[in-house]
Amino acid sequence: MKRLCVYATVCLSVLVSACVSNPPVIEDTRPVWIDNPGDGVSASAGTHARGKVAQEELAITRARVEYAKRFGVSIEAVGVYAKNMTNGRSVTTGELVSQERTKQTDVKAMVKAKWHDADADVFWVWLVPGN
């Protein structure tokens, strides 16, 4: 009988401590620099048909365009895509042309950080002034 009381007490204390302790909180890992990039800029790109590398390149291009606007640099990118259907097969071809115009300004920037929001499949980059 004494063993049963000790066993019941141990089980009860384990059960109570399990109920009292809080499970670990998974914090939002969204970096602060997304909403507050300081002297730099943050930019993002959602899911890309050509995969993760193209998604990252698009985010970097968008950050460069935003950053360059501060210095009077204009970056224009024009994409021309054609889709052809033959015997039930689809072929898409494309070309992206970028043109930069400056006002005698040297703009130097570098990617300081990258973050991928896996839940939303959005890739973020933080572009800051370079040396």
d(Cα 77, Cα 98) in Å, to the nearest integer? 4
- Report the predicted TM-score, pTM, of the whole model to 2 decimal places: 0.58
Q: Is residue 75 part of a domain?
A: yes
21-33: pLDDT as tens digits: 444 433 458 999 9
Q: Is residue 76 part of a domain?
A: yes
Q: Is residue 8 part of a domain?
A: no
36-88: pLDDT as tens digits: 999 999 999 999 888 899 999 999 999 988 888 887 766 666 666 667 777 77
Q: Is residue 32 part of a domain?
A: no
Q: Is residue 14 part of a domain?
A: no
Measuring CA to CA, which residue among 62, 57, 63 is closest to residue 126? 63
Q: Is residue 46 part of a domain?
A: yes
Number of domains in the chain: 1
Q: Is residue 7 part of a domain?
A: no
What is the CA 29 to chain-centroid distance, rounded?
A: 11
- Residue numbers of the domain that contains 67: 39-129
Q: Is residue 26 part of a domain?
A: no
Structure tokens at 97: 């042309």
